Amino acid sequence: MRLTVAQALIRFLANQWTERDGQRHRLIAGCFGIFGHGNVAGLGEALRAAELAGQPELVYRQARNEQAMVHAAVGYARMSNRLSGYACMTSIGPGATNLVTGAALATINRIPVLLLPADTFSTRVADPVLQQLEHPGAGDISVNDTLRPVSRYFDRVGRPEQLVPAALAAMRVLADPAETGAVTLALPQDVQAEAYDFDPAFFAPRVWRVRRPVPDAADLADAVALLRDAERPLIVAGGGVIYSDATAALAGFVEATGIPVAETQAGKGALRYDHPAALGAIGATGSTAANAIAAGADVVLGIGTRWSDFTTASHTVFGNPGVRFVNLNVAAFDAAKHAGISLVGDARAGLAALTDRLAGHQTAPAYRDRVRALADDWDAVVDRTYHPQTPGIGILTQGEVLGAVNDETEPRDVVVCAAGSMPGDLHKLWRTRDPKGYHVEYGYSCMGYEIAGGFGVKLAAPDREVVVLVGDGSYLMMAQELVTAVAEDVKLVVVLVDNSGYASIGALSESVGAQRFGTAYRYRDAGTGRLDGGPLPVDLAANAASLGADVLRVSTVAELRAGLRKARGSDRTTVLYVRTDPLTGAPDSAAWWDVPVAEVSELDTATAARDSYQQAKRSQRHYL
């Protein structure tokens, strides 16, 4: 079958499927793209020809920013439990390098995204072409090589016949939950347009089965023995629980054994917030309930977590000197962390095996009572934060905003956030009622993810209301995908919180003695030359309106609630703009995060912060 490389790739991608538990999903559901001289004659022509021929399986969606299209693809794939995703195509040069941040985000979060950046001529006949990087020491390097360290698989298709093994290898990685992340196929612009006689078998429907491997029997026996001997066991549920569709299995295991559950950012929603064994968030942005239980835990069962520093409070939250770890994870790399017993396998299959082998075993009633009492205490703290008895005058706190949104959303609605102070506040405070109702990107905590990611979430779950929470700092980095949502008639509800700067880093700056330097949006003072003049006259609500969204300005809880109800009843993307107080933070988690403080300083605040830092460092250790 004689086709160009680009035509062959599009036809191949439209015929790739995943299958898990007997259900099939299109592996590549569509593609985002921005065209330039590197791909307009290749992938651009191929997509247009397929569209006119009535082959819409691989729908094309026009993005406004290359990084944002990767974020949208991540949102889609994460909402699809990594069983379906999107391709992202760019021209050469800046289009390709704009993918790097999104690729890092996808790989760090173990989310499948296919990247198709155009590359310079394979023949090199016209070197140097527009936007080509010339490396004086290597003729085969292009800017696309910046994607190598942030991709789980990278290949450059320098000849038409190379497409076949490269495309198959790419699909293998995308469909493997233990290996997945960003996958890059760099496509030289001349090769994209070159014709070749492809074997028709290359285009036959192909199914990539996502298996549920059971952990090794000997490892299970070791883990069960350790859990049976534990007096104060704790489960830490990570994103793998949700991606594996193991939340029901987790609830069954917990109800059979009485072992309480704390959740990572990616794992939030693994257990309903009001379950008797639910302790809420753990770690640096955790609840006091989860962190108190973690401090005394003697055995910790981590399920589908990669043990980030926020989860472990930089290796301080698990305070028992003899604490041991059991790690159930589909990736051996993560299962081996903290010198734990490695249960390499699927979360749902592993939980079923553990439930079987721990039949009849339960934690002590007194331990379960303590868990519930601590959880109830924290829930009361959340309630006071959401609904203060003496609300602030004139400007809302972020806690009040989150409370209004939490109260007005339905269980199946999805809240989306990524960076700034809100992810930490959400981790502590949000009351999850559905496994897919909480979507906070915190593996990379990438500013600008929110609106683009929310767009991808809505594409994957059009029957759910998607509420994007975004701060002014993150909004200013990447708001343009509002235009994409409007163009595609994909409705989002965006709550735009304006606190005149970087509230999260402002608070962090203050805690390390740097006095919130460079974290507020201010004029430069003409007298001092410093950025501490008056507030800037930026109107973000007007900006959102100019991008095609409906905008509601709100300033009280009552107005915010009414605005959320109005937005729910609308079929258009709506932005609710609200100002908040950046100096009123969420309740303390009673946990630490390791951010080094200046060892010597002329600032008294930094010297005092260094003393506190050194004290906290004393409780930090390797888990061996």
Give residue 393's pLDDT.
59
Q: Are residues 164 and 102 in the same domain?
A: yes
524 within some domain? no
- Which element (helix H / strand E) includes 52? helix 45-52
**Domain's final residue, options 185, 209, 233:** 209
Environment class of 344 (CB within 10 Å of its CB; exposed 0-12, middle 13-18, buried 19+): buried
What letter represents residue 57's amino acid? E
17 within some domain? yes
588 within some domain? no
Query: Is 281 in contact with 268 (CB distance < 8 Å)?
Result: yes
Token digits of residue 209: 């089965």
- For 559, other C-beta atoms within 10 Å of its C-beta total 16
> Residue 154 pLDDT > 80, yes or no?
yes
> Residue 118 pLDDT > 80, yes or no?
yes
User: What's the rounded Cα separation, in Å, for the pair 58 and 13?
Assistant: 8
Question: What is the pLDDT averaged over residues 327-331?
Answer: 98
> Residue 429 pLDDT > 60, yes or no?
yes
Q: Are residues 18 and 154 in the same domain?
A: yes
Q: Are residues 197 and 229 in the same domain?
A: no
Give residue 586's pLDDT.
85
Which percentage of the chain shows pLDDT scores above 70? 99
Question: What is the pLDDT averaged over residues 80-90?
Answer: 98
User: What's the rounded Cα separation, in Å, for the pair 12 and 143?
Assistant: 26
601 within some domain? no
Show Cβ contacts of residue 303 under 8 Å, excluding neighbours closer than 6 positions: 235, 236, 237, 238, 240, 241, 246, 250, 267, 328, 329, 347, 350, 351
Query: Residue 546 maps to which CATH number?
Result: 3.40.50.970
User: What's the rounded Cα separation, in Å, for the pair 295 and 310?
Assistant: 15
3-state secondary structure (DSSP) of residue 103: helix
Give residue 582's pLDDT.
84
> Residue 570 pLDDT > 90, yes or no?
yes
Band of the pLDDT at 58, cuts 50, 70, 90?
confident
* Global pTM value: 0.97
Q: Are residues 204 and 223 in the same domain?
A: no
591 within some domain? no
Question: What is the pLDDT averaged over residues 150-168?
Answer: 98
Q: Are residues 62 and 104 in the same domain?
A: yes
Q: Are residues 281 and 330 in the same domain?
A: yes
Report CA dihedral (516, 522, 528, 529) to the nearest 10 degrees. 100
530 within some domain? no
Range of the domain at 408: 387-500+536-579
Q: Are residues 360 and 441 in the same domain?
A: no
**Domain's final residue, options 377, 395, 417:** 377
> Residue 361 pLDDT > 60, yes or no?
yes
Q: Are residues 276 and 302 in the same domain?
A: yes
Average per-residue pLDDT for the chain: 95
Question: What is the pLDDT averaged over residues 205-232?
Answer: 98
Query: Is 195 in contact with 4 (CB distance < 8 Å)?
Result: yes
Q: Are residues 165 and 228 in the same domain?
A: no
Phi/psi of residue 20, each to 5°? -140, 135
Please tell me the number of Cα atoms within 13 Å of 381 on its side-chain side. Answer: 19
Q: Are residues 412 and 549 in the same domain?
A: yes
Show Cβ contacts of residue 601 under 8 Å, excluding neighbours closer than 6 positions: 513, 607, 610
Q: Which of 266, 290, 306, 244 is nearest to 442 (CA)?
A: 266
Q: Is the peptide bond before 462 cis (omega within 30 degrees of 0)?
A: no
How many structural domains comprise the chain? Answer: 3
> Residue 392 pLDDT > 60, yes or no?
no
Phi/psi of residue 209, each to 5°? -80, 130
400 within some domain? yes
Q: 3-state SS of 185-247?
A: EEEEHHHHCCEEECCHHHHCCEEEECCCCCCCHHHHHHHHHHHHHCCCEEEEECHHHHHCCCH
> Residue 398 pLDDT > 70, yes or no?
yes
Query: Residue 221 maps to which CATH number?
Result: 3.40.50.1220
Give residue 503's pLDDT.
84
Give residue 257's pLDDT.
98
Band of the pLDDT at 53, cuts 50, 70, 90?
confident
Give residue 176's pLDDT.
98
Give residue 56's pLDDT.
62
516 within some domain? no
Tokens 């630490």 correspond to: 592
User: What's the rounded Cα separation, in Å, for the pair 72 and 542?
Assistant: 24
Q: Which of 131-135, 137-141, 241-245 has the highest mean pLDDT?
A: 241-245
Give residue 391's pLDDT.
61
Question: What is the pLDDT averaged over residues 412-418?
Answer: 98
Strand partners, 187: 118
> Residue 340 pLDDT > 80, yes or no?
yes
Token digits of residue 130: 């527009």
DSSP-derived letter for residue 279 is E
Q: Which of 465, 491, 499, 495 is nearest to 557 (CA)?
A: 495
Question: What is the pLDDT averaged over residues 24-49?
Answer: 96
Give residue 500's pLDDT.
86
> Residue 478 pLDDT > 70, yes or no?
yes
Q: Are residues 69 and 173 in the same domain?
A: yes
The alpha carbon dihedral of 119, 124, 129, 134 has a sign of: positive
Q: Are residues 359 and 394 in the same domain?
A: no
**Domain's final residue, options 350, 377, 404:** 377
Band of the pLDDT at 509, cuts 50, 70, 90?
confident
